[in-house]
Structure 1
Amino acid sequence: MLKATVIVKLKGGVDDPEGRTIKHSLELLNFEGIEDVKVAKLYEIYLDKPLEEGRKEVEEMIRKLLVNPVIHDYELRVEEI
């Protein structure tokens, strides 16, 4: 069994309205000194495949659905569990 972890973040310079809203809310709760808040998505995908085949399949999932390469960067980790 494989566990693929995909972390999707907005590229630098891309507006993050959700992060901006969270930052504002934290400031309203009297948290100080917050420079910025960035929001990311984490996907955990479990596959019953050999390691290399599973990695290739997850990379295809990333290209076809999970990431817009114009605005997103991503990290991929695949491990046997």
Structure 2
Amino acid sequence: MKARVTVTLKQGVLDPQGKAIEGGLKSLGIEGIGSVRQGKVFDIELTTTDRTKAESVLREACERLLANTVIENYRIELAE
């Protein structure tokens, strides 16, 4: 089973990297972008085929390592 975990900063948390990307896009003349917030994506291959077990393992991975839950949110997507 495969999963994608997306980690993003919570609303209200400053995102200097997103601001730098936003400035870079503007300096390249790319129009129509209001603001940018950046995040991280993890593509993970699991050894289990049990969705409940997979979600549990991924939540633990996020809570303990992949996300700083004080300032970041995470979203788990499972694919067969």
Gaps of 5+ in 2: none
Query: In the alignment, what sits opposite 2:37?
Result: 38
Under a length normalisation based on structure 2, what TM-score does the superposition of the two structures give?
0.89
Is 2:21 the counterpart of 1:22? yes
How far did 1:34 drift? 2.1
Q: CA RMSD in A?
A: 1.2
Give me the TM-score of the superposition, normalised by structure 1. 0.88
1:59 aligns with 2:47: no
The percent identity for this pair of structures is 37
Cα distance in structure 1, aligned partners of 2:54 and 2:5:
13
Counterpart amino acid of 2:69? Answer: P
